């Protein structure tokens, strides 16, 4: 069974009297354990598509079935439940909660799952990304690369079945980018976590097994390595 199944997915935004179609009739299936990249020019709809696949937003038409859950049939609370259970998300701009320390940010998904060992587990994850000594730092006290590593620890915390990453190395220097890349790819190799990566970096995309090219909100090519 596919872990993610997209059928005739469309997304339209209304801006004043104008209708802007950002995604049009998108179809694909992703199997558990796959590692894929979505590439395309700026404004082609990549981020919108990723958000719809992860249940962060809903489409205007069509269906998204994520790990057996038809997202368009769920309300916002139910979608959040699916996200907390099955999904990890890494954003280009990290999106850490500014009033929480690194440790507390990583603890958020663990506390949502009512894990009694939330603190120990979060410290373990910070150690994995090489940041145990920054546990009590707030996001503003961390470099971009460190913030992205905290956000990765947070995304790994609920042991997601599927990890979405939107330009995870986009704002980082090459060395830090390579470290982030390794953390994400290792999760796929070691735990079999499905990885869906949005990137404009074709070298990074080439390291995945499958590349979906998108342009003007439509799939141009779906290429398996």
40 contributes a contact to ligand ADP by CB under 6 A: yes
Select from 15-23, 26-34, 77-85, 97-105 the region that touches ligand ADP (CB under 6 A). Answer: 15-23
**Got the DSSP string for 181-224?**
HHHHHHHHHHH--EEEEE-S-HHHHTTSSEEEEEETTEEEEEEE
User: Which member of 46, 149, 161, 210 binds ligand ADP (CB under 6 A)?
Assistant: 46
Tell me the C-alpha distance between 195 and 217, whole Å: 21
CB 40 to ligand ADP: min, Å: 6
Q: Tell me the number of residues near ligand ADP by CB under 6 A.
A: 12
Of residues 6, 35, 36, 48, which one binds ligand ADP by CB under 6 A? Answer: 48
Pick from 4, 6, 22, 197 the residue near ligand ADP by CB under 6 A: 22
Q: CB of residue 123 vs ligand ADP: minimum separation in angstroms?
A: 34
Q: How far apart are CA 5 and CA 67, in angstroms?
A: 9
Cβ nearer to ligand ADP, comparing 13 with 120: 13
Q: Report strand pairing: 194-198 vs 35-39.
A: parallel
Number of residues assigned to the chain: 225
Among all chains, which residue has been given the structure tokens 């470290």? 179
Contacts 24+ apart (CB under 8 A), 116-121: 121/157
Query: What DSSP designation does 66 have?
Result: E
Q: How many CB atoms lie under 10 A from the CB of residue 15? A: 7
Shortest Å distance, C-beta 23 to ligand ADP: 8
Say if residue 183 is exposed, middle or buried (CB neighbours under 10 Å; 0-12, 13-18, 19+): buried
Under the binding rule (CB under 6 A), the answer on residue 194 touching ligand ADP is no
Task: Name the minimum Å distance from CB 184 to ligand ADP.
Answer: 18
Residue 208 Cβ vs ligand ADP, minimum distance, rounded to whole Å: 17
Pick 52 or 153: Cβ nearer ligand ADP? 52
202 binds ligand ADP (CB under 6 A): no
Q: 66: which strand partners?
A: 4, 69
- Cα(31)–Cα(81) distance, rounded to whole angstroms? 22
Residue 6, token pair as written in the block:
């997209």
Minimum distance, C-beta of residue 106 to ligand ADP, in the bound complex (Å): 26
Stretch that binds ligand ADP, among 14-22, 24-32, 75-83, 173-181 (CB under 6 A): 14-22
Among 20, 70, 206, 225, binds ligand ADP (CB under 6 A): 20
- In angstroms, what is the minimal distance from the CB of 217 to ligand ADP? 7
SS3 4: strand
Chain positions contacting ligand ADP, by CB under 6 A: 13, 15, 20, 22, 40, 42-48
């Amino acid at each position: 069974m596919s872990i993610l199944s997209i059928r005739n997915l469309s997304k339209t935004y209304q801006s004043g009297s104008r209708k802007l179609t950002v995604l049009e009739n998108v179809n694909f299936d992703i199997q558990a354990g796959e590692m894929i990249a979505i590439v395309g020019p700026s404004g082609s709809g990549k981020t919108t598509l990723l958000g719809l696949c992860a249940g962060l937003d809903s489409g205007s038409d069509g269906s998204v079935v994520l790990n057996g859950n038809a997202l368009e049939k769920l309300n916002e609370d139910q979608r959040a439940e699916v996200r907390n259970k099955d999904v990890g998300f890494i954003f280009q701009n990290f999106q850490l909660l500014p009033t929480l320390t690194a440790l507390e940010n990583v603890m958020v998904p663990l506390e949502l799952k009512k894990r009694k060992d939330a603190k120990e587990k979060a410290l373990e994850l910070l150690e994995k990304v090489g940041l145990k000594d920054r546990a009590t730092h707030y996001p503003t006290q961390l470099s971009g690369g460190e913030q992205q590593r905290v956000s990765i620890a947070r995304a790994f915390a609920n042991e997601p079945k599927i990890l979405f990453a939107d330009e995870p190395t986009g704002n980082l220097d090459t060395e830090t980018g390579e470290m982030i890349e390794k953390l994400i790819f290792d999760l796929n190799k070691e735990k079999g976590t499905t990885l869906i990566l949005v990137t404009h970096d074709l070298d990074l995309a080439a390291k995945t097994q499958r590349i979906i090219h998108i342009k003007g909100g439509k799939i141009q090519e779906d290429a398996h390595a």
